[in-house]
Amino acid sequence: MRRIFWSGMSAVSRVYTETRSCLRMPRKRSIAASVFLWGRKNLFSSARTESRKYRSRRDMNERTFAKRSDGEKNMITYNSQYFEMDGEPWFPVMGEYPYSRSDCRDWKEDLAKMKALGVDIVSSYCCWIHHEEAEGHFDFRGSKNLRRFAKEVKAAGMYLCLRVGPWVHAEVRNGGFPDWVENKKYRARSNDAGYMADVERYFTQLCAQCAGLTYKDGGPIVAVQVENEYSQWGVQGKGIGDEHIAALIALLKEKGMDVPLYFATGWGKAATGQAIPVWGNYCEAPWEAQTGELPPMDGYLFTDNPNDANIGSDTGRKEMDATIARSPYPYATVEHGSGIQVTKIRRPVITGEDCGAMALCKIGSGVAMLGYYVFHGGINPTGAFTSMQEYRDEKNLRAGFCCDLPEFNYDFQAPVGQYGEIRPCGRELKLWNYLIRYFGRQICTLPVSLFPGNPSDPNDLHALRCAVRARENGGFVFFNNYVRHYPTKEKSVRSFSPVQGVTLPDFTLQSGQYCAFVFNREICGTRFRYALATPFCTLNEKDCVFWAEEGQGAIETEGDPAGKVILLSKQDAQNAWCFSYAGMDRLFVTDGEMYASEGGIVLLCGKNARLKIYPKPETPPCGFVCTGDEGVFGLYEKNIDVPSFSVQICGQESGNGYTDYVLKCEGPYGDVQAAHLAIGYEGDRLEILLDGEKVADDYYTGKPYVFGLRGYGYPSRITVRVCELRQDAFVYTEYPPAFMDGRACRLTFVRAEVQMRVLLGA
């Protein structure tokens, strides 16, 4: 037996290859206000576990394909608990990348970034108004080239889920309907013959773009979602709504879009027909027309009800009982918020922890596909007749639209920003995406049990939030002690029994901490009695990598580990990337961005490139120098010549309710990967003008606005217009500006930033 105990976290990663002493763990049960006790008996809700029969869906609606045209035999199917690929459990991570709201020149690189962050399936709305703004005139050029996007997804080694609507919401004008559809006399979003005729023409064009790219034909398209929030906005209800869902799926199949999985959003009592219901949750609700602090969100709970009544709560909370145990479908999300869009009224600032704690709660609650919205931020295209953003007016209010959004900015505070930058939120979510990527095959097959006393009220900040996914005497235990904007107290966990006959060492769940621990599981040939650390990844089928908060990380194995057991600090784990390099799996730790390309591993960084690599390669990466070791990691550095790039304010002019600032950019000169301007301002909103034309905008949140220059040809002169915010405006901001004479309207700073590309090799 090997007992490993480490108290006193540092930034240095630790590896355990020898026996270490373990502090003696108290065996007496303690009962106090700060102590949470689980008895030796299994006190979980066994009724749920026992009643769940994992019904096979292999024969339903021809959803599996025994053989693809390219010779692959990977079938995709599902039972009531999880998805399968080629008969093996499959726990995919899905992330939204809105192709028609992005620069097609960035698709290849940014898809690779999403894959490096742990995404397997790319989801993307097909916005009807983007493709048929004028009736009968279809546009699939440039960034609307769906076929090219699907091919890029395949080249990236990823899968694709198309969210075809026809009504999509997506914070798009008319919910994605062209104006001419809105002006027709038929009943849209129903089986009305006139509406279905227009839908058929549209679907014919979409499916022609995807010919030969469905999964059974060797392509990446594994799933299609029809409609969206069907009843939340459409007010269709069951019966007629189910018939319409069935009609849309039948029409897609008729046109050649025959895929393994069909989805429909389930929240808000939506009609889903025979499609797999997919769910969502967000850490904020910017659609709420109020300027106060919102109560704690449901998404920070462990629960067996996937419905989040806060989505679309501006039309009233849609409570429903969708208990997972009674569903014939696996629990899947399509809109787990990996950010949130700011609106005219509400300007929340989202952190990685806000989204990461919710992801942990979904995994612990039994999710079998973790689908994020939005994972890559977007920029609305310019319409031929109108702008393309959701906006607030009398007609849209009746249809369920209540938000005024920026004309262009659909950044969503996403893990990958609208200009391709990986944000701290992306690094945080990578922790949970990697947990799924490397351990999901084990996790998704394990039934869920909720802690007795686990709160069902999101306002309960005192009870222990905990869930277990286990079978027999081994599995994973999940804790959440984080709620956005609501501090929680640390909790002393004593004599904790995740299952009968198993007791974990005592530990303290810190305020704001959320984590997943392992007990009695074999990983890569090593059996862990327990690991009070969160699994991160495995390397070369022998090494196990964990991460833990400072002062935590006790690990005990049965016998000698098959390989190394490596414990990272959380910061190192957030900066860690796993790739195949020089013939084996390696772990890279850097504060730069990394992804795999056709030519090898790419590092994006500034002036100095620094890496930690395990296992150490025989020779340093091209151009790097080995500067020493840190535990099992080799340390490598490379100095990079960064081209000159500067910006200065060379003019200022005030108008009625706004101030224009003229910026002069010098450079960047030479070969750079990307150049951005970080713009600090105080006001209601910011607009970017090039040659007098508005090309970008932003609502004030208190965070700097990042403007990417590459897509605009690195302009030398830029006008930044700051529009004033009145102190009495009906606006919620977490970081109010400094008002002078009741108004705020000024530029506070501009900073030039460059990013260099370093190719490490294959």
Which among 404, 439, 474 is the end of a domain? 439
Residue (of 380, 403, 468) closest to 143 by Cα position: 380
If asked whether residues 103 and 208 sit together in one domain, one would say yes
Residue 43 lies inside a defined structural domain of this protein = no
At 480 the three-state DSSP class reads strand
Do the beta carbons of residue 323 and residue 453 sit within 8 Å?
no
Q: How many CB atoms lie within 10 A of CB 297?
A: 22
If asked whether residues 429 and 498 sit together in one domain, one would say no
For the record, the structure tokens of 656 come out as: 């009625």
Residue (of 756, 583, 752, 611) closest to 678 by Cα position: 752
Residue (of 642, 612, 640, 605) closest to 627 by Cα position: 612
Long-range contacts of range 383-387, CB-CB < 8 Å, 24 or more positions apart? 383/129, 383/133, 383/173, 384/133, 384/134, 385/133, 385/134, 385/179, 386/173, 386/179, 387/173
DSSP H/E element including 108 = helix 107-116
Residue 453 lies inside a defined structural domain of this protein = no
If asked whether residues 235 and 375 sit together in one domain, one would say yes
At 118 the three-state DSSP class reads coil
- Three-state secondary structure string covering 682-695: ECCEEEEEECCEEE
How many Å apart are CA 149 and CA 123, to the nearest integer?
Answer: 11
Residue (of 411, 399, 391, 397) closest to 350 by Cα position: 411
How many Å apart are CA 168 and CA 175, to the nearest integer?
Answer: 6
Residue 49 lies inside a defined structural domain of this protein = no
Residue 356 lies inside a defined structural domain of this protein = yes
Do the beta carbons of residue 322 and residue 303 sit within 8 Å?
no
* Amino acid making up residue 624: F
If asked whether residues 217 and 322 sit together in one domain, one would say yes
How many Å apart are CA 464 and CA 460, to the nearest integer?
Answer: 9
If asked whether residues 622 and 656 sit together in one domain, one would say no
Which among 639, 671, 702 is the end of a domain? 639
Do the beta carbons of residue 60 and residue 308 sit within 8 Å?
no
Strands (E) across 180-288 are located at 221-226, 261-265, 276-281
Counted residue by residue, the chain has a size of: 762
For the record, the structure tokens of 153 come out as: 């997804």
Residue (of 153, 154, 227, 141) closest to 188 by Cα position: 227
How many Å apart are CA 583 and CA 347, to the nearest integer?
Answer: 47
How many Å apart are CA 393 and CA 76, to the nearest integer?
Answer: 44
Torsion angles phi and psi, residue 666, rounded to 5:
-115, 110
Do the beta carbons of residue 373 and residue 336 sit within 8 Å?
yes
If asked whether residues 228 and 182 sit together in one domain, one would say yes
If asked whether residues 222 and 318 sit together in one domain, one would say yes
CATH number at residue 371: 3.20.20.80
If asked whether residues 753 and 675 sit together in one domain, one would say yes
Residue 39 lies inside a defined structural domain of this protein = no
Low-confidence residues in the chain, pLDDT < 50 = 5-67, 313-317
How many Å apart are CA 399 and CA 29, to the nearest integer?
Answer: 57
CATH number at residue 684: 2.60.120.260
Domain holding 494, by residue range, is 2-34+460-639
How many Å apart are CA 375 and CA 97, to the nearest integer?
Answer: 6
Number of domains in the chain: 3
For the record, the structure tokens of 190 come out as: 């129903």
Residues 6+ apart with CB under 8 A from 404: 343, 344, 345, 390, 391, 392
pLDDT value at residue 71: 55
Which among 639, 660, 680 is the end of a domain? 639
Partners of residue 522 on adjacent β-strands = 527
If asked whether residues 17 and 139 sit together in one domain, one would say no
Does residue 487 have a cis bond before it (omega within 30 degrees)?
no
How many Å apart are CA 229 and CA 237, to the nearest integer?
Answer: 11
Partners of residue 95 on adjacent β-strands = 122, 372
pLDDT value at residue 69: 57
At 595 the three-state DSSP class reads strand
Do the beta carbons of residue 460 and residue 454 sit within 8 Å?
no
How are strands ordered across the β-sheet holding 543-548?
14-16, 565-569, 543-548, 534-539
Do the beta carbons of residue 398 and residue 362 sit within 8 Å?
no
How are strands ordered across the β-sheet holding 35-36?
35-36, 491-493, 507-509
Residue (of 476, 482, 481) closest to 448 by Cα position: 476
pLDDT value at residue 357: 99
Unique residue bearing structure tokens 């950010």: 339
How many Å apart are CA 56 and CA 354, to the nearest integer?
Answer: 36
If asked whether residues 368 and 508 sit together in one domain, one would say no
For the record, the structure tokens of 199 come out as: 């839908």
For the record, the structure tokens of 684 come out as: 């209601």
Residue 728 lies inside a defined structural domain of this protein = yes
Do the beta carbons of residue 283 and residue 354 sit within 8 Å?
yes
Partners of residue 373 on adjacent β-strands = 337
Residue 105 lies inside a defined structural domain of this protein = yes
How many Å apart are CA 220 and CA 226, to the nearest integer?
Answer: 18
pLDDT value at residue 669: 78
Burial state string for 589-604 with b = 16 or more CB within 10 A and e = fewer than 16: bbebbbbbeeeebbbb
If asked whether residues 481 and 353 sit together in one domain, one would say no
| 381-397 pLDDT per residue, tens | 999 999 999 987 756 55
What angle is formed at CA 326 by the lines to CA 456 and CA 251, rounded to 5 degrees? 115
- Three-state secondary structure string covering 298-363: HHHCCCCCCCCCCCCHHHCCCCCCCCHHHCCCCCEEEEEECCCCCCCCEECCCCHHHHHHHHHHHH
Do the beta carbons of residue 412 and residue 425 sit within 8 Å?
no
How many Å apart are CA 536 and CA 570, to the nearest integer?
Answer: 10
Please provide the distance, in angstroms rounded to a whole number, between the alpha carbons at the two ends of the chain: 39
How are strands ordered across the β-sheet holding 76-78?
76-78, 83-85, 88-90
Residue 10 lies inside a defined structural domain of this protein = yes
Q: How many CB atoms lie within 10 A of CB 229?
A: 24
If asked whether residues 256 and 404 sit together in one domain, one would say yes
Residues 6+ apart with CB under 8 A from 367: 306, 331, 332, 333
pLDDT value at residue 74: 76
- Cα–Cα distances (Å) from 346 to 158, 436, 449, 730, in that order, read 35, 33, 37, 9
Q: Is 128 exposed, middle or buried (0-12, 13-18, 19+ CB in 10 A)?
A: buried
For the record, the structure tokens of 159 come out as: 């899968």
